[in-house]
Structure 1
Amino acid sequence: MIIQSIMIPKEAVHTVTTKDTIAIALDIMEDHNQRCIPILDPSSTLYRGNIYKYHIYRHLVQGGSLDEPVTTLLKNATKFVKNTDAFFKLFFTLGDLPYISVLNDKHHFLGIIRHTDMYELLSQSWKMTESSYALTISVPDNVTGLDKILKIIYKFTTITGLITLDREEFTLRKRIMVMFPPNFTKQQLQKLTDKLTAKSFDVLEVEDLTHGI
């Protein structure tokens, strides 16, 4: 399962319990340069939520005390995924959080998946680090448009990755981004783009990935 493969296990995660004070949470975050950490129950088994460094400092500015329990500033109590959830549940639940907690069916805390881990997973699946160039191509609305584009591409090379993009507010066009293998040269790329243009397919962007992103 994807969640299990990229999860940082509980033993490697800095946490606090509901019995701890805000001061203890702040010390942990300062010592380990973290924006937030999970809050668990007194037995360090059940997930309760997160506490953020930002909220601690705002709490202090407003006259709050570091001696208060971490539950005073508890956030994200309902923000978690199960270890059996599918990729898209993980993707949309994570959103802009720095990490998402992973629980089992008994609500036991198993670990976290960081935003950076999700980014790395997507980067690997798109083969961005193993590609030479990427083309963004406008796709006609008819059902054969994508098939025709791929037939042209396969006359020149194979592909390492493909992403489909729906219409957006500004372009109002469907698009695909196609990545090519490391041995695909700039000269071959030019011939391919010329061929696509000749067949009335708009090449919207060419990205050189040979030196990284």
Structure 2
Amino acid sequence: MQIRNHFVKKSLVKYVTEDYTIQQAREHLEKTGFRCVPILDKTETKFLGNVYEIDTYKYEGSLDDPVLNIADNQDAIIREEEPFFRVFFTIRKLPFLAVLDENDEFIGILTHSSVMDVAEDAFAVHTKGYAFTIGTFDFDHTLARLTTLVSKYTPIQSLITLHSKNFVRQIVFTIPETTDEKTVQKLRKALIDDDFKIVHEEKLS
């Protein structure tokens, strides 16, 4: 999964440029309704940082000063071709990341909400079915054994691992809602018989 499949294209982004004053940036933010927008250079190709509406009010200098005086998050960038998992190490509390192409040119933004949508898909939040959480100490061997066993009974709809820095890890997998109760019971018994620890089980609806 790559960034290029999930970001908002530049043509849809309400950015400002470096020749904006702080007053103009404030008016732009108020007009568009965003609390933060990217700042691009005069050629509208290079990302120079973000401007937050609240900073236009906190600024103690002249509102005629350049918007770059209050630019923030200059390093809040990610490459179009980078794998999506890198986003989770970068975006954190930011509203979005600037997406750059191979020439370091600004081509759009990856929003925090888009990242959450992908995370929800990974957890199958909006998908009906059954979710099992397995606790394990021996992650490498467990994952192979687990997927082999589950696949004997039903397709695996999604799978994600949690607590990767801890000694005890958790593997969450979901199976389709079309799986009948008898098959679910057989799967549950097979997991227990094969010494898998079922930490949590839930029917998703």
Q: TM-score range by the shorter chain?
A: 0.7 to 0.9
Partners of 2:148 and 2:188 in 1: CA distance: 13
Where in structure 1 are there 5+ consecutive unaligned residues? none
In the TM superposition, what are the counterparts of 1:163-178 in structure 2 within 5 Å?
163-167=160-164, 172-178=167-173
C-alpha distance 114-64 of structure 1, shift in aligned 2 (>3 A): same
> Structure 1 residue aligned with 2:76, among 79, 91, 95?
79
Same amino acid, percent of matched pairs:
31
The CA distance in 1 between the partners of 2:56 and 2:104, in whole Å, is 26
Instruction: Deviation per CA, 1:166-189: give whole Å up to 9, x if none.
Output: 4555xx412210111121245643
TM-score normalised by length of structure 1:
0.81
SS at match of 2:187: helix
1:115 aligns with one of 112, 115, 121: 112
Indicate the residue corresponding to 2:53 in structure 1.
53
Pairwise CA RMSD:
2.6
Which residue does the alignment assign to 2:199?
A: 204
Q: 1:183 aligns with which of 178, 183, 204?
A: 178
Corresponding position of 1:100? 97
Amino acid at match of 1:19: D
Judge conservation of contact 1:39–1:51 (CA < 8 Å) in 2.
yes
Q: Would the aligned equivalents of 1:128 and 1:179 in 2 still touch at CA under 8 Å?
A: no
* Amino acid in the other structure paired with 1:30: E
CA distance in 1, matches of 2:101, 2:194: 53
The alpha-carbon distance between structure 1 residues 46 and 95, as it changes in their structure 2 partners (threshold 3 A), is: same
Q: TM-score, normalised by structure 2?
A: 0.83
Aligned residue pair count: 205
Structure 2, unmatched stretches of 5+, are: none
Distance 2:160 2:139 in 1: 18
Contact 2:134 2:196 in 1 (8 A): yes
